[in-house]
Amino acid sequence: MKLLLKGGRIVNPAQGFDAIADILIENGHIIEMGDQLSAEGAEVFDAQGFVVAPGLIDMHVHLREPGLEAKEDIVSGTRAAAAGGFTTIACMPNTKPVVDSAIIVSGILHRAQYEGVVNVKVIGALSKGQLGTELAEIGDMILTGAVAISDDGSSLNNNSLLKTGLEYTSMFHCPVITHSEDDSLVEDGVMHEGAVSAMLGMKGRPAVAEDIAVARDIMLAEYADAKLHIAHVSSKGAVELIRQAKKKGVNVTAEVTPHHLTLTDEAVKSFDTATKVNPPLRSADHVAALIEGLQDGTIDAIATDHAPHAFEEKDMEYKQAPSGFTGMETALGVILTGLYHTGKLTLLELIERMSTAPARILGLKAGTIEVGSPADITIFDADLEWVVDSSKFYTRGKQTPFDKKALKGKAVATIVNGKFVMRNGEVCT
């Protein structure tokens, strides 16, 4: 099967390329790029006026399978990914059972191969059962295909175990992804600790809890000479700690979510449980620091932390509702609206942080458009205006703080292994 993409604006950060060109795809790979290409028998897609980018990669997703399929499963989650323009996603291990052994990694990869719409990568747990007492089968999981190790969803307070885990994963050149919060400082907190939490009478989660944990994680990674990735950075103190660590040569990378870049704790005034997330939405000074960190390269990647819940779980009092909400179907639009159209990021920078950098961090053969590379491609209209309607989401989790918000920019086609999996907003498979 041949597919010819005609006249799109190809934006490829890996090559520093930004120009109008054609792309010819055959048997799942890019075989030619250039001007005025033609190919007998090829399907032609008119990409004029659209941005053609290396497939977006979401390195922080909760697919909830196995065991929590009422919230999400591989089928619904990968369909949501395709709808949002993502060609590859990496799923976190806090499932039931926890992804802490090679057989579970193998099972997810097998199911995703046959039932997933996009490429699925697996992140294995650092500790057995994510209990923080004993190392999981790290080596076996990596050899089976796990691309990273993490106890995300819980803060690992066992410093000795984290040190050993970092030392062990360093032998495989595999990153450890940490959820950096000091549990003793955030216990029972439901939102950012500050003026808004005081006004609302809600117990807060102080930003210093993140700062302390990030400092600990960086120090242990430096000691172990290991690859560390800080998940969902939300505090200005953490940004500065990561900045200084990079200057010292510590092998640390970091991600930030679309919601932490574009929303503040003011959103919680609505008491809408769709605004409840962990770490919490913070005040404007933290948001400004996150954007600055993204601009100067302190923060490497943008990831959604897509964390869907069943309707009845979020349909309760704010304090009792679980943290997290869906993110893949709004991420590109939110970032284009909040950062590109406001002049805070260029398209090259935006795509680098949503595709090229995640591929580099996870060691994937992805995140680029060049002859010979897999034909995983995202095509989007940077100027398309649309209104978020969560009732039409492909994900099972319909909660989002962006519901009914007007956005500018949207994926119009998603190509995985040379085939359309989403076209004109409709998932094809």
How remote is the C-alpha of 363 from its chain's centroid? 15
Rounded Cα–Cα distance for residues 52 and 43 (Å): 17
Rounded Cα–Cα distance for residues 382 and 57 (Å): 18
Closest CA to 359 of 372, 382, 338, 376: 376
CA angle 137, 143, 147 (to 5 degrees): 90
Cis-peptide into 66, omega within 30 deg: yes
CB under 8 Å to 345, separation ≥6 — which residues?
A: 294, 295, 335, 339, 353
Closest CA to 234 of 184, 194, 175, 176: 194
Classify strands 419-423 and 406-416 as parallel, antiparallel or unpaired: antiparallel
CB under 8 Å to 98, separation ≥6 — which residues?
A: 104, 125, 128, 129, 130, 136
Asked if residue 90 lies in contact with residue 60, where contact means CB atoms within 8 angstroms, the answer is: yes
Which active-site residues does the annotation give?
A: 305
Burial of 1 (0-12, 13-18, 19+ CB in 10 A): exposed
Asked if residue 225 lies in contact with residue 200, where contact means CB atoms within 8 angstroms, the answer is: no
How remote is the C-alpha of 215 from its chain's centroid? 22
Residue type, 198: A
